[in-house]
C-alpha cells in the first residue's frame, strides 16, 4: 500500500495532521493508498511557498516557463502506461479510457506551452497628444486549483498548465477520492528542476484544505471543477477577499433527437455517452427528448444497445464499455434516485438495480427509464450515473423549452439532418456547449464553460488561458 505526503516548496513533507484517508480501488474494494487529511497549516504553508516564488517565476520569459510544461508532457508520455494503470486502479476507469485521459493530458501541457509566445497586450489610441495607452496582460499571482475525482489527471493539467504559462504560481488540491495518479505525477516531475514553490500539492478535504486555500488573502484566483454545492461554498469563502473564482460545475445535459436524425448515429452516441465511465462525466447525456413519431423505434434500439453494454473490471482485456462506479456513496446515490423516480411513476425498461454478477465493487446496471415527466427529480437533478430517462416532444421549440427548463447550463446536444433546425437550436439552447450530431468530449482548443448554475468563467483554449491573466492599463505620456 502506498502513502503520499504533501508537496510544498519543492519537496515532499509530512502533513501537520496525523489523520489519514484511505483511497479505495472501486472494483476490488482494496485499499490502494493512504493520504493525509491535510490541515489549514499545510494549506497556508503551500500558499506561502507559492507567494514567495511568485516574483521570480513571473519574471522568467514565458517561453522558459513553457519549457517546463513541455518537460511535464514528455514525462507523462514516457510513463503513460504506468499512469493509466494507476488511474484505472483508483477510480475504475476502463483502462482504454484511462489511457486516453493520460495521453490527452500530455497534449494539454504542450498545447498550453504553445501560448507562451502568443500572450499579447494592446496599444490603444489616446485622446491626448503624445500619449500611448498600453494594455498589459499580467499574471494574477497565486492560483489555486481544486480537483474532482472524475477526470482527476486531465483536470489537474487544466489548472496547472494555463496558470504556469501565464506566470502564476500554483497550489493544487486533488480530490480525496482519486489523488493517486496526480501524486505519482508529482513524484515523476520532481527532477525537472522547477523552482521551489512554483507548484504545490496539498491533500485534504474540501471544507478544511479547500476552504483555507480559497479564503486566504494570498490567493489570486480559485479554479474549481466540482459540484454546484462546492462551487457555492467556494464563492462564499472567496467573497472574504473578493478573490476571483472560475467554476466548472455540474450539468444535466439534454439530448434532443429529431425525427429526421440519423437514428443509428443518435442511438450509438447517446448510449455510449451515458455508459462511458459509468455516466460519471459532467457533459454526458443526462436526459433525452425524442420526437414522438420515432419515439418507439428509438426506445427499442436504445434498450437493445443498453442491454448489450459490457460491464466488467476496469482492467478486463474484453474491452468493456464500463466498470464499477467510483464509490459506494456514488452508487447508492444513483440507486436512490432511480428508486425515487420509480415512486414518482417512472418505468424501468432496462437495468434499474445494482449489478448482481460481482461479489465486490460498486457496479450499477446501465438503466433506461420511460414514463418520466419534466418536473421529476430524475429530469431536474444531476444523476452522474449510467441512467437515461427519456421523454417525448412534438415540436422542436417544445424540445428546446424542455431542455432549457433546468438550473444547469453546461452541455446540450441535438441530432437532426436538417441544417436549419440544428442552427436554430444551437442559438436557442441556453448552454455553454452544444454538440450537433455527436455527444461530448470537448476540444482542448475550445472553451468549456457552464452557464447558469453550471459555472462561471471557463477552461481550455485561448479564453481558458486568459482566465489566469489580469489587465493593467498604462497611460504613457511623453514630450
170 catalytically annotated:
no
Q: Contact between 150 and ligand NAD (CB under 6 A)?
A: yes
**Catalytic annotation, pick one of 85, 184, 248, 433:** 248
| Cis status, amide bond into 441, omega within 30 of 0 | yes
Residue 136's DSSP bridge partners are 472
Q: Are 140 and 221 in contact (CB under 8 A)?
A: yes
Distance between first and last Cα of the chain: 70
Q: Does 366 bind ligand NAD (CB under 6 A)?
A: no
Assess 24 for contact with ligand NAD (CB under 6 A). Answer: no
The cell for 392 is 417525448
Identify the sign of the CA torsion 438, 444, 450, 451: negative
Q: Rounded to whole angstroms, how far apart are CA atoms 95 and 98?
A: 5
The pattern of x and - marking residues 230 through 259 that bind ligand NAD according to CB under 6 A reads x--xx-------------xxxx--------
Contacts of 169 by beta carbon, 8 Å cutoff, 6+ apart = 50, 51, 53, 54, 57, 141, 142, 143, 163, 197, 198, 199
State the helix-helix crossing angle for 95-113 and 152-165, rounded to 10 degrees: 0
Regarding 147 and contact with ligand NAD (CB under 6 A), the answer is yes
Annotated active-site residue in 282, 284, 382, 467: 282
Does position 227 interact with ligand NAD (CB under 6 A)? The reply is yes
* Residue 136 three-state SS: strand
Q: How far is CA 118 from CA 61, 109, 421, 448, 458, in A?
A: 12, 15, 37, 20, 19
Q: Which of 38, 139, 210, 464 binds ligand NAD (CB under 6 A)?
A: 210
Determine the Cα–Cα distance for residues 215 and 457; give it in Å rounded to an integer.
19
Q: Would you say 355 and 363 are in contact if contact means Cβ atoms under 8 Å apart?
A: yes
141, 226, 254, 457: residue in contact with ligand NAD (rule CB under 6 A): 226
Mask for 378-397, x = binds ligand NAD (CB under 6 A): ----x-x-------------
In the complex with ligand NAD, which residue's Cβ is closer, 167 or 210? 210
Interacting span for ligand NAD (CB under 6 A) from 35-43, 112-120, 208-216, 295-303: 208-216
**Does the protein bind ligand NAD through residue 337 (CB under 6 A)?**
no
Judge whether 282 counts as a catalytic residue: yes
282 binding ligand NAD? (CB under 6 A): yes
Q: Does 303 bind ligand NAD (CB under 6 A)?
A: no
Please give the residues from 450 up to 479 whose contact with ligand NAD meets the rule CB under 6 A. 450, 455
Of 226-234, 310-318, 358-366, 369-377: span binding ligand NAD (CB under 6 A): 226-234
Minimum CB–partner distance for residue 78 and ligand NAD (Å): 27
Q: Which residues bind ligand NAD (CB under 6 A)?
A: 146-151, 173, 175, 205-207, 210-211, 214, 224-227, 230, 233-234, 248-251, 282, 382, 384, 410, 448, 450, 455
Active site residues: 248, 282
Amino acid at each position: 500500500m502506498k502513502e503520499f505526503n504533501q508537496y510544498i516548496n519543492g519537496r515532499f513533507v509530512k502533513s501537520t495532521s496525523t489523520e489519514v484517508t484511505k483511497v479505495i480501488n472501486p472494483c476490488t474494494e482494496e485499499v490502494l493508498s493512504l493520504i493525509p487529511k491535510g490541515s489549514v497549516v499545510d494549506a497556508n504553508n503551500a500558499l506561502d511557498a507559492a507567494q514567495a516564488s511568485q516574483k521570480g517565476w513571473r519574471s522568467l520569459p514565458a517561453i522558459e516557463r513553457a519549457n517546463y510544461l513541455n518537460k511535464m508532457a514528455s514525462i507523462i508520455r514516457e510513463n503513460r502506461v504506468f499512469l493509466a494503470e494507476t488511474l484505472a486502479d483508483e477510480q475504475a476507469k476502463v483502462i482504454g479510457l484511462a489511457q486516453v485521459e493520460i495521453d490527452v493530458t500530455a497534449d494539454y501541457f504542450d498545447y498550453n506551452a504553445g501560448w507562451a509566445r502568443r500572450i499579447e497586450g494592446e496599444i490603444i489610441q489616446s485622446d491626448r497628444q503624445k500619449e500611448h495607452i498600453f494594455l498589459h496582460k499580467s499574471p494574477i499571482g497565486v492560483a489555486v486549483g481544486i480537483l474532482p475525482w472524475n477526470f482527476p489527471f486531465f483536470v489537474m493539467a487544466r489548472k496547472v498548465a494555463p496558470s504556469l504559462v501565464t506566470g502564476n504560481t500554483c497550489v493544487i488540491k486533488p480530490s480525496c477520492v482519486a489523488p493517486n495518479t496526480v501524486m505519482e505525477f508529482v513524484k515523476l516531475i520532481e527532477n525537472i528542476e522547477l523552482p521551489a514553490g512554483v507548484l504545490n500539492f496539498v491533500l485534504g478535504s474540501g471544507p478544511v484544505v479547500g476552504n483555507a486555500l480559497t479564503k486566504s488573502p494570498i490567493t489570486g484566483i480559485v479554479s474549481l471543477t466540482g459540484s454546484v454545492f462546492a462551487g457555492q461554498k467556494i464563492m462564499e469563502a472567496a467573497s472574504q477577499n473578493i478573490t476571483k473564482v472560475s467554476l466548472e460545475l455540474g450539468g444535466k445535459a439534454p439530448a434532443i433527437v429529431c425525427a429526421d436524425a440519423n437514428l443509428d448515429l443518435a442511438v450509438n452516441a447517446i448510449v455510449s455517452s451515458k455508459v462511458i465511465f459509468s455516466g460519471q462525466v459532467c457533459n454526458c447525456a443526462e436526459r433525452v427528448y425524442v420526437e414522438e413519431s420515432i419515439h418507439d423505434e428509438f426506445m427499442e434500439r436504445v434498450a437493445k444497445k443498453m442491454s448489450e453494454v459490457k460491464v466488467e473490471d476496469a482492467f478486463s482485456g474484453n474491452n468493456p464499455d464500463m466498470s464499477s462506479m467510483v464509490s459506494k456513496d456514488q452508487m447508492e446515490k444513483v440507486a436512490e434516485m432511480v428508486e425515487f423516480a420509480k415512486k414518482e411513476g417512472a418505468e424501468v425498461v432496462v437495468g434499474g438495480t445494482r449489478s448482481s454478477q460481482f461479489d465486490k465493487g460498486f457496479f450499477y446496471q446501465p438503466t433506461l427509464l420511460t414514463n418520466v415527466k419534466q418536473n421529476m427529480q430524475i429530469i431536474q437533478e444531476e444523476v452522474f450515473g449510467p441512467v437515461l430517462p427519456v421523454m417525448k416532444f412534438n415540436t422542436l421549440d417544445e424540445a428546446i423549452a424542455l431542455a432549457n427548463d433546468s438550473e444547469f447550463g453546461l452541455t446540450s446536444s441535438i441530432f437532426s439532418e436538417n441544417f436549419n433546425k440544428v442552427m436554430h437550436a444551437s442559438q436557442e439552447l441556453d448552454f455553454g456547449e452544444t454538440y450537433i450530431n455527436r455527444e461530448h468530449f470537448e476540444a482542448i482548443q475550445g472553451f468549456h464553460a457552464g452557464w447558469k448554475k453550471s459555472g462561471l468563467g471557463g477552461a481550455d483554449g485561448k479564453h481558458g488561458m486568459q482566465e489566469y491573466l489580469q489587465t493593467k492599463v498604462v497611460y504613457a505620456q511623453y514630450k
